Amino acid sequence: MADPGIEIITTPRDLFQRLGARYPEQLSKTLQTTMEASLLHVQGSVPGYPKPRPNQTYRRTGTLGRSLGVAQTGGPIGKASVYTSKRMGNAWEGEFGTSLSYAPDVIGEGTQKEMFVGRWWTMATVAKKAAAGVLRLHEAAMEELARWIDGK
C-alpha cells in the first residue's frame, strides 16, 4: 500500500485576528452589497409590456411598470415601490415588487385575471429569469469573501 503522504495546512498569520475582529463586519458588508446587486438584477429581469391587443381602446399609463421601477419597454428607470434590503441576523433579505392593488390581477402567479393569462408575464417568470444571475452574484460574493479570509 502506498504512503498517502503528509498534508500540511498553513494558517495566515493574522487570520484569527481578521476573523475575530472584522469577519462579521466583512461578511455583513459583502452580503449587503450582494443583496443590493441581486435586487438590481431582478429589476433588470422585468420584461417590457406585451404588445397591445388589436383594437385595444384604453391608453396604457405605465403605472405598473413605474411601480416596479421599469419602463414599459423594460429596463430600470427608478426604484420599485417594494424594494427592501435588510439584515436578518447574520444574513440579508431582499424584497422586490409592487404595492399596486391591481398588480396581482395582471402579474400575479395564480392570481392573474383571464384576460392577462398568456399575454402578460408574472413575477414568478421574473424570478425564474433572474435566478441564475442572482446565484452567480452570491457565488462570486462567497469567492470574494474566501479571498478576503485568505488575505488576498
Q: Is 40 contained in some domain?
A: yes
Q: Is 3 contained in some domain?
A: no
pLDDT in tens, 82-103: 998 888 877 788 889 999 999 9
Question: Taking the model in full, what pTM does it have?
Answer: 0.82
Q: Is 64 contained in some domain?
A: no
Report pLDDT for 145. 85
Q: CA 11 to CA 127: how far, in whole Å?
A: 40
Report pLDDT for 10. 47
C-alpha cell at 105: 390581477
pLDDT in tens, 38-95: 999 999 999 999 998 888 888 889 999 999 999 999 888 999 999 988 888 777 888 8
pLDDT in tens, 30-40: 889 999 999 99
Q: Is 8 contained in some domain?
A: no
**Band of pLDDT at residue 140, cut at 50, 70 and 90:** very high
Q: Is 143 contained in some domain?
A: yes
Q: What DSSP string describes 45-68?
A: TPPPPPPPPTT--SPP--HHHHHT
3-state DSSP assignment of residue 80: coil
Q: CA 68 to CA 88: how far, in whole Å?
A: 24
The average pLDDT across 8-16 equals 55
**One-letter amino acid identity for 33?**
T
Q: CA 27 to CA 19: how far, in whole Å?
A: 10
Q: CA 74 to CA 68: how far, in whole Å?
A: 10
Whole domain around residue 92: which residue ranges? Answer: 24-48+70-149
Q: CA 132 to CA 130: how far, in whole Å?
A: 6
Would you state the torsion angle of the CA atoms of residues 128, 132, 137, 141, taken in this order, to the nearest 10 degrees? 120
Yes or no: say if 120 and 50 are a contact pair by the CB < 8 Å rule.
yes
Q: Is 62 contained in some domain?
A: no
Q: Is 9 contained in some domain?
A: no
Residue 69 neighbours by CB distance under 10 Å: 22
* Residue that wins the pLDDT comparison between 107 and 22: 107
Q: Is 65 contained in some domain?
A: no
pLDDT surpasses 60 at 148: yes
Number of domains the chain is built from: 1
> What is the percent of the chain with per-residue pLDDT over 90, rounded to a whole number?
49
Q: CA 25 to CA 150: how far, in whole Å?
A: 16
